Structure 1
Amino acid sequence: MAVADNSFLMSTMFNASPYPKGISGYIPPPGFAPGASATPLHTALFNLMTDGEAVSYFREMISKSDKTVLQRMASLLTSDSDYFMAIVTNKYGSRRVQKLLGKSDEVDAFFCAAILRRFLHITTDKYASYVTIRGMVVFDKEMKKPMYEHILYHALDIACDQHGCIALNDIITDADDPYYRDQLLDLVASNALCLSNDASGNFVVQHVLTLYELRCIHNIAVNLFGHCIDLSFKKYGSYIVEKLLEAEESMLVVVVELLDCDGDTLMRLARNEFGNFVVVKALRFTKAMSKIDLFWGLVQKLMPFIHLLRRSHGSNIASILDSFRLRC
């Protein structure tokens, strides 16, 4: 950042009053053609927010700024949606906007409105998504309400995005409103099948299962019943089925499906590079939870294929079967 810009911005931010009204400057991200000329103030502010070498300068400036200056700064940063997007989609810009969140309700109001205007784009961006996450932690209850409404409306699109799924998981974990938390969990559960088959959405289902919300686990299991074997043949789908086996509320759904399938399907699953872990976990957890009838049902159904399991990914299953055959 040029020294002249630093000096200009510092003197403007602390000495200029009142701030210009109705500024619609536009600093485009790389590769975009500018739609309008930016004012010198917008240019200097953009540099302050996005320059990787301006960390200490930004920190010093914020520490010396009162609420009025921070409010004016927030007003400028959010005066144009494209300008705001160019800042929050920048690695440093995202971090510095996060630092400004929670400074005051007045400052937060500007940022909340800006996030809501481009909610889906912000929440699915690699860097900007962390602005949404931070906002959901520090915004007051009234500001969070429209944020939650937008999250629910866009939840499936966010969940099926490689960056959005991370943001949604964090938001669900930190959700402090019981109503909206339940709404989010129910939405994930009711869409468990399509999410489980999605490259990004499956991480949301996995995450929700680790929260050990028993009602939600039950609902996910119910919605995945009849599809557990198909999911078990897939890398990430098998992770979801394994997690279902870890909870007594959902284990029965998976094991019943394993017992009801034909022997050839179970054998192929047991020899599959992903499915074998599901079968191993089914054996171990039915035994650990004293579901002896289910455990022996699996053993008896797998035993005819023990010779085939030894020469495949199912060798670990064959070892388990051998140990019980020797005892018998």
Structure 2
Amino acid sequence: MSALSPGAAVLAKDVSGHRVILHCLKQFPREDNENLLNVVANKCFDIATDKTGCCVLQPCINHAQGEMKKKLIAAVMFYASHLAEDCYGNYVVQHLLSLGIPGVAESLWRQLEGRFFYLACNKYGSNVVEKFFQDSVEPHSTYISMELLHNPNVAMLLVDPYGNYVIKSALSASRGHVRNALEQLIKQNSLMMQSNLFGKKLLAWFNKGRI
């Protein structure tokens, strides 16, 4: 482990070497993996934005305990804004949300607050916004919906290749006045939606749910 740990970041991103990291996590006790996980945490961004590395970072977070787990989560949080729109990093952010660890959704929401509209129109960021609606509890989903609704360009999400899926997820997760506001948004822009491929699909789904 003393020999492996200094090169943990390189191994984590290697198509063959990453198997060594995963083997260590499964076979060795926590104290033996401590230095290895510490290197992974310090190189979090490089690993999270790599095709192989993002798949290694997730089990590292799962296997870590105590202060080391907190350090790994904090490292992801620090880069969350950039990772959310990365083709590989977004999976790491989604993984954190799926763990259901108390306080994690709150911290991630605060890191991304003010950027949800931008992320909703991003190929990879939209997956993170949808994950918030699917896995996070109130009040975060309501806050995100309201942030989207208060954006002057919110109607563009209805016809956006990625934003339309975010609106669909928001509708599925919302209740009360938030759902009413989303429904009103669709009704007011239905004509525009009918002339757009993505808008037409969202409108068909919306109307089907009201039958």
Q: TM-score scaled to structure 2, two decimals? A: 0.90
Equivalent AA in structure 2 for residue 256 of structure 1? M
| 1:257 counterpart residue number | 147
Match of 1:294 among 175, 178, 199: 178
Q: Output the amino acid matched with 2:32.
A: M
**Kept after mapping to 2: 8 A contact 1:192/1:224:** yes
CA distance in 2, matches of 1:267, 1:130: 46
Residue in structure 1 matching 2:91, options 176, 192, 203: 203
Q: Is the 8 A contact 1:190 1:219 kept in 2?
A: no
CA contact (8 A) 1:266 1:302 kept: no
Deviation at 1:190, TM superposition (A): 3.0
5+ long unaligned stretches in structure 2:
none
Q: C-alpha distance in 1, partners of 2:15/2:76?
A: 22
2:75 to 187, 194, 208: 187
- Asked if structure 1 preserves the Cα contact closer than 8 Å seen for 2:54 and 2:92, the reply is yes
Asked if 1:124 is matched to 2:13, the reply is yes
Q: Which amino acid aligns with 2:99?
A: L
Task: Give the whole-Å Cα distance in 1 for the aligned partners of 2:204 and 2:137.
Answer: 25
Distance 1:118 1:306, change over 3 A: same
Contact 2:116 2:144 in 1 (8 A): yes
Structure 1 pair 185–274 and aligned structure 2 pair: CA distance change class (3 A): same
Q: CA deviation at 1:119?
A: 2.1
Find the partner of 1:311 among 192, 195, 211.
195
Q: Kindly indicate whether residue 173 of structure 2 is the aligned counterpart of residue 285 of structure 1.
A: yes
Among candidates 51, 54, 76, match of residue 162 of structure 1: 51
Shift of 1:128: 0.2
Tell me, yes or no, if the aligned pair for 2:12 and 2:47 is still in contact at 8 Å. Answer: yes
Equivalent of residue 154 in structure 2, options 255, 259, 266: 266
Query: Is residue 119–residue 150 contact of structure 1 (8 Å, CA) maintained in 2?
Result: yes
Q: Secondary structure at the match of 1:165?
A: helix
TM-superposed CA distance for 1:261, in Å, is 0.7
After superposition, residues 73-84 of structure 1 pair within 5 angstroms as: none
Equivalent residues of 2:6, 2:39 under 8 A apart: no
321 and 149 in structure 1: CA distance in 2 versus 1, 3 angstrom threshold = closer
After TM superposition, the runs of 4+ consecutive aligned structure 1 residues lying more than 3 A away are: 319-324
1:147 counterpart = 2:26: no
Which amino acid in the other structure matches residue 10 of structure 2? H
- CA drift at 1:196: 0.8
Map 1:30-49 onto structure 2 (within 5 A): none
**Alpha-carbon distance between aligned partners in 1 of 2:77 and 2:101, rounded to the nearest angstrom:** 11
Give, in whole Å, the separation in 2 of the partners of 1:129 and 1:317: 41
Distance 2:6 2:69 in 1: 23
Which residue is equivalent to 2:106?
A: 218
Q: What's the TM-score, normalizing by structure 1?
A: 0.59
Cα displacement (A) at 1:309: 1.0
Q: What amino acid is the match of 2:190?
A: I
Unaligned ranges ≥5, structure 1: 1-111
Alpha-carbon shift at residue 268 of structure 1 (Å): 1.4
| Deviation sequence 1:266-291 (CA, Å, 0-9, x none) | 221110111101001111210xxxx3
1:111-158 Cα offsets, whole Å, 9 max, x none, are x12212322211210110110121122223332221222121111111
Higher-Rg structure is 1
2:25 equivalent among 127, 136, 157: 136
The one-character-per-residue Cα deviations of 1:14-47 (angstroms, maximum 9, x if unpaired) are: xxxxxxxxxxxxxxxxxxxxxxxxxxxxxxxxxx
Supply the AA of the counterpart residue of 1:253.
Y
